A and B are shown apart, each in its own frame.
Chain A
Amino acid sequence: MKIRTRLHVNVFLCFIITVLVGSFVFAAVREMNVQTEKAVAASKISREMAELNIVTHEYLLHPEERPLMQWNRKYKSLTRHLTEEAKIFGPSEKDLVDKIFLNLKRFNAAFSNLVSTFKIVEAPGGRTIPPGLIDTLMGELLVKSHATVSPIFLLERKIQAKSIALQTKVSRITAIFFLVLIALITGVSLWISRSIRIPLAKLQRGIQIIGGGNLDHKVWTHERDEIGELSRAFDNMTDNLKKTTASISDLNREIEKRKRAQEKLKESEERFRLLFEHAPEAFSIFDLKSTLLDANRAAERLGGYEKKELIGKRLEDLGLLPSDELEKAAALLKRNKEGETTGPDEIILERKDGEKIVTEIVSIPLKIAGQDVVLVILRDITERKVMEEQLRQAQKMEAIGVLAGGVAHDFNNLLTTIMGNAELGLMGLDRGRLPLEELQEIKKAGERASGLTRQLLAFSRKQIMEPEVLNLNEVVRNLEKMLGRLIREDIKVLTTLAPDLANVHADPGQMEQVIMNLAVNARDAMPQGGKLTIETANVELDEQYFRSHGVENNHGAYVMLAVSDTGVGMNKETQYHIFEPFFTTKAKGVGTGLGLATVYGIVKQNKGYVWVYSEPGKGTTLKVYLPAASEEKERVSKKGKVSEISGGTETVLVVEDNDAVRETAVKTLEKYGYSILEASSGEEAAELSKGFEGPIHLLLTDVILTGMSGKDLAEILASAKPGIRVLYMSGYTENAIAKNGVLDPGVNFLSKPFTPESLLLKVRDVLDQPVP
């Protein structure tokens, strides 16, 4: 039976019992009310009878009008009440009521007799009554009074007894009713409680067992009530749960497995932590906001900082990067953010002790624990760089030696030409003839010699870069003769030059060197002969182009110079290394390994790009891209001034420790009207200027002097002689007046060797410049 049904049965039984007992109680209460009414009526009769007796006694004591009036009123009231109340009394009381009536009438008669007697006595001239009559009447009156009072008392007692009996009966029935009701409720409640409690306890135990993880346990309650349904539903739920949930043993196995995995992971982490910490390379990890997250011991040694001093700091706050390197590092990080692995690149670090070191940097974007980071690997290559420089110098010396061997032939030829023509000229003079033709040949030979010198300087990277707006077509054309000497006869040289080629901003000497190096490389790639093509063109390099070549985007107009050969070509591996210094595929003693490295350096110096396209057996094309210059070419106008060589009257202080050069310069300038002061050293020049009172308009000085340098002298004179202009001359500068081979802005420079013509043009040009 269901719990709800049980409860309904319980309520129904209680209701039935309540109705039964309630009906009985209701009837009993009604009877009690009747009894109460009877009791009230009897009590009223009794009270009125008592009052009647009171006034009877008062009258007997003093037979006045007032007690008589009260007696009569009370008698009537009592009689009326008796008549009225007689209806509510039952048959059992009727006899008593009749008796009261009867005796009351007798009482009234006795009282009336007495009153009549008193009236007879008190009447004026009243009769004499027999002695003792009054006492007799009084006695009779008292007897009648008692006879009336007696049934009234009996009636009262009888009704009272009935009321008490009824009250007792009702009380007992009510008590029994409540006892039965309590017993019923208790019994049924216990029954329901037992039928609920036991299966509920079983269910509770089952839930505890299942809650402990034993999904195999069954509650198995067979009751047909709601708890039975609940337990069966619970068993079903456990079955379903079991299907979808691993058992405890499975869970334990899984836990054990995971524990082992965690231990392995921990070991692995420890291993990698040790590897990280003890790796010889400097490892550091940055987030994408360039904040240092971690670094290993090698990184500590590299920078000279302890890890705790750096972690949490941003790249720019680390103090490891000089300001000009920060930009480079930021650019690398930017590429890393885009997912690109960079390096190896070189970057200069400033250690904690202030020492600057050159490092090789490789940065790799990674994801560690869901966080995007960049792993930076640094390697101190300062020592290697020094070694490389030393080796490069040594190899350069070797290369120069090799070159010198090659160039010596040309020089000897030139010297032969000079010496021969000089002899012929002298002989002509002896015969009274002006040796103009010989001097022209000597001059040409000198110019060629000067060109050869420039080539040598370029190889030694000591060449001063004098960028100017130039057209590569002109450079190629000017080099054609030279190329003819470099290229073997079994190689055909073709030039395809774009007619409207844009200008570039570059050093013409460097450009010549680039073309020469590329041409020599092409030549060496065609041992069996072939075709060498030099091509120029205007190109527009877009973003896509740069993206495909993986370099920094700087799209725009470029001028292309391509040198192609039909030689042996290169594989990818070789292509990858061709711009590295000292990388060569040529036989020992044939190449220096500096040719393409020099090309790469010059092109980069001029903000350009160089790409190689090659296929083994088919040939190679090297393409150089230089940014197109927006300026118009100046060289033409400068060259225009050649025909307008003019002198001057200004005072020029010439300082040159080489007597021949100094004398040539002095003579040339004096010839064109300049006043000359000359000195062979800086100190002498300083003394001379001090003693010279007039204005010195121009200091023409060699950069490298014995003792005081030309630059120091210029600074001294600039303060001593305000407004003095300075023109440096030198074969090379060793960075005295130039940085990275580029002249400082505002510095006037005349490259040695120079001709009197170029000297006069440059001197006039400088003197015509505004006073500094």
Chain B
Amino acid sequence: MKRGFRQSLAVLAGLSLVLTAAGCGNAGNGGDGNANTSEKPANANAAQNQGEKEKTKLVYWTYQRHDAEYIKQKIQQFNETNEANIEVEMTMMAENYPQSLDLAFTSDQAPDVFATQRPAEFYAKGYFEPLNGYLTDELKSKFGSFLREGSNKFEDNVISLPNVGNTIRLVYNVDMFEKAGLQPPKSLDEMVAAAKKITEIGKPDGIYGWSLPYKSPSSALDRSAAKIAEMNGFHRSGFDFKTAKYDFSGWKPIIEAFRQMSADGSVLPGSESLDMDPMRAQFAEGKIGMYISYSTEAGVYNTQFPPKIRWDATLVPTIDGGEAKGAIDPAASAWLSMSSESKHKEAAWTFMSYMYQDEIMRGYHESGLGISVLPHILEGAKEPSTPGIQNFLPTEYDAAWPVEPQGIVPEGKTWQEQFTRYILGGGNLDETIGELNASYNAALDKAVAGGAVTVTPDPSFDPAALRK
């Protein structure tokens, strides 16, 4: 009896071990192991399909939420019409997309096709299947001029093709600007003064002139200060193509203007702890005079936060209100990539070719899901239907920059964190800029010495010439 009991326990212990190991093991290439939403349960129709020709199942991962409906619809169309008997299963990775990809690749569960992110890092990790062999002459002629080393091409291996980019504008509350008798600011001084005046008029009603989601320094400044810098001839990374060194000194008036708005009390209280969506909700309520953000704002205000006020968008100010000395890069470089681990590469390419069709990309642009920068898509495209998108449409001030050195990581804090600290709390900006220049250039020198990066000064580089 006792012995039997012990044996049963041993069997149970062994069984639980085996089950644990099986649970941790490879769940196949269907992405079944992840807990995210999936459009179609894997193998749902397995029994039904028995006897029919086996379908080639592809897994597609994306982190984009705003275009989910459109993409879902196109995938369904593909699944129903493609002659290669391919079925694509779309999985929306709501959060931590890069980490999810890392996990998927290390556990042999990588998707076949995935939305491109962190191209330099993921190229180094070997996640991308080079597309060079798949590109037809037609595709080369359409996309060739948009293939840039360090952006969507690494060591001549093409890892993705572009679709749309995001333009940047100053988004403002028309009602408050009219009430204050103001025009949208053209210079940094005007921006600071407008924020102050709106606050003076609006404060009794809880309305403030300016806000940014300062909880995340990169979210706040990547969309604002960095873009004003580009408009004024300084690359968003701080890299100076003329000297092939990092130099943030040109950013000084921009950061000072942001600091001044904080010091004036023109910033919505609590912005220090705001994420982007709660900030948009406040703007939609009419509590913020202006902020700077991407062209996705139009879609967001149409679907997520219907505004109670009239709003519009305009070009970001220049330092002195004069002609822009540069242009803002819409950063349209990559969209879809093929996994190096895919067991169905031909099928994956069939799906990717379908997605890169003119009709689908034009529809994407016309739906206002993103702003296309590709001439062959823009040609004959209708104006996007999303209300509010008009002033986000590309102008001569929206143009691509050369690719900055990739993977430069300074010791200590990033420029976003250092500048946010100054904007919110003050300090010595010259000292901060000096420290940033030193730390970024030290990291650059290290990368150059290690052979990870090559840089060449281009004294004739003119950011104003980027405009077409």
A and B: real partners? no
Interface residues of B (CB under 8 A from A): none
Interface residues of A (CB under 8 A from B): none
